[in-house]
Amino acid sequence: MSNTPYRTALVTGASSGIGAAIVRRLSEGGIEVHALARDAKRLEALASDTGCIPHAVSVSDQAGLEALIAGLEVDVLVNNAGQSRTGNITNTTPDDIDALVDVNLRAVLQLTRLVVPGMIERNRGHIVNISSIAGHYAFAGGNTVYHTTKAGVHSLSQQLRCDLFGRQIRVTEVSPARVETEVFGRLIGDMAEAKKRFFDEYDSLLPEDIANSVAFAVLAPQRMNVSFMEVLPTMQVVGGLNFAKKTSAPG
Ligand SMILES: NC(=O)c1ccc[n+]([C@@H]2O[C@H](COP(=O)([O-])OP(=O)(O)OC[C@H]3O[C@@H](n4cnc5c(N)ncnc54)[C@H](OP(=O)(O)O)[C@@H]3O)[C@@H](O)[C@H]2O)c1
C-alpha cells in the first residue's frame, strides 16, 4: 500500500513498450491510470490486465485531448508517446518533420498546458517527460528531427520547474538510451529484422527498467523532486568524435 498523494495518472503512448510498462507499474503503485494511445485493441488488452482506463485518442487530436482533460483530474501526467524516423536533415521529408514535431513536441506542450491549471488549483501534481539521450547528445546515425524534438522536451522540463516554482508540483525528465521496444521495428518497418539488428547481440534496457525509474520519482516523498534521470544500458556509452579528412570534402 503506497502513501502517495496522487490518485490519478495519464500516460500517453500507453499501448506498447515503455508506456504500457509505466501503466502497469503505476497501477501496481495504487494509482488509477488513464492510458492513452491510438490502438484501441491493445489498450483494451492492457485495461483487462491492469485495470487502467483506456482512451483511444491520438495526441495529434487537439479537440480529443481537450475533451479528455476537461473531464479528468490528472495528478501525474506522463508524456511518453513518441515516434522516430530514419535518415537525417539531408533526406528527411516535410511529412516526417511535421509528424515528429507534432507527436514528440507539440502534443507534449499542449497536454502540459491543459493539465497544469488543475494541478495549480489543487497544489498537487507531477509531470514526467520521457525524453531521450538523443535530446542531449549528437551521434551519427540519429534522426536529426527526433534529436531536435527531444532537446525541446528537455528544455521544456527545465523551464516548467521555473513556471511552477513555489508549488507542490514536481517535474521529472527521464532520458533513456536504448530500450527493447517496438520503436526500432516501426522505424525500419520490420520487427524481426529490428530484433536481430538492434537487440539480439546487445544488452539493452527493458521497458520495466524505465517504468521503475518513473515509479521511483513518482512515489518518492513529496519533499524530493527527481528532476532528471539518464538511464543507460550498462553496455552502452554515449560519445564519440569524428574527424573528416581534408580529402573527404566534396569539391
Ligand atoms: N526505445 C528506446 O530505445 C527509447 C529510447 C529513448 C527514448 N524513447 C522514448 O520512449 C517513448 C516510448 O517509446 P517506446 O520505445 O516505448 O516505443 P513504442 O513501443 O513504439 O511506443 C510508442 C508509443 O507511442 C504511441 N504513439 C505514437 N504516436 C502516437 C499518437 N499520435 N498519439 C498517441 N500515441 C501515439 C504508440 O501507440 P499507438 O501506435 O497505439 O498510438 C506507442 O504506444 C518515446 O517517446 C520514445 O521516443 C525510447
Q: What is the CATH number of the domain that holds 122?
A: 3.40.50.720
Are the beta carbons of 26 and 52 closer than 8 angstroms? Answer: no
Whole-number pLDDT of residue 1: 46
- In DSSP notation, 215-237 reads HHHHTS-TT----EEEE--TT--
Considering the domain boundaries, does residue 1 fall inside one? no
- Tally the domains of the chain: 1
Query: Is the C-beta atom of 136 inside 6 A of ligand 1?
Result: no
Looking only at the bridges linking them, the beta strands covering 32-37 and 228-231 are: unpaired
Q: Which residue among 80, 182, 214, 231 is best mutated to probe the pocket of ligand 1, counting the most ligand atoms within 8 A of its Cβ?
A: 80
Considering the domain boundaries, does residue 113 fall inside one? yes
Considering the domain boundaries, does residue 238 fall inside one? no
Whole-number pLDDT of residue 77: 98
Domain span at residue 187 reads 8-232
Considering the domain boundaries, does residue 203 fall inside one? yes
Burial class of 110 by CB neighbour count within 10 A (0 to 12, 13 to 18, 19+): middle
Considering the domain boundaries, does residue 171 fall inside one? yes
Q: What is the mean pLDDT of the chain?
A: 96
Whole-number pLDDT of residue 249: 72
Considering the domain boundaries, does residue 245 fall inside one? no
Considering the domain boundaries, does residue 82 fall inside one? yes
Question: CA-CA distances (angstroms) from residue 234 to 178, 204, 205, 216, 230?
Answer: 11, 8, 9, 19, 12
Question: Among 28, 80, 55, which Cα is nearest to 210's?
Answer: 80
Query: Is the C-beta atom of 210 inside 6 A of ligand 1?
Result: no
Q: What residues act catalytically? A: 146
Which three cell numbers, joined as nine digits, stand for 68? 479528455
Query: Is the C-beta atom of 60 inside 6 A of ligand 1?
Result: yes
Residue 84 main-chain phi, psi, to 5 deg: -140, 170
30 C-alpha to center of ligand 1: Å?
24
Considering the domain boundaries, does residue 150 fall inside one? yes
Q: Which residue among 78, 111, 130, 181 is best mutated to probe the pocket of ligand 1, counting the most ligand atoms within 8 A of its Cβ?
A: 181
- Sites in the chain below the pLDDT cut of 70: 1-2, 251
Are the beta carbons of 232 and 202 closer than 8 angstroms? Answer: no
What is the distance, to the nearest Å, from the Cα of residue 122 to the centroid of all Cα atoms in its chain? 25
The residue whose grid cell reads 521555473 is 162
Whole-number pLDDT of residue 251: 61
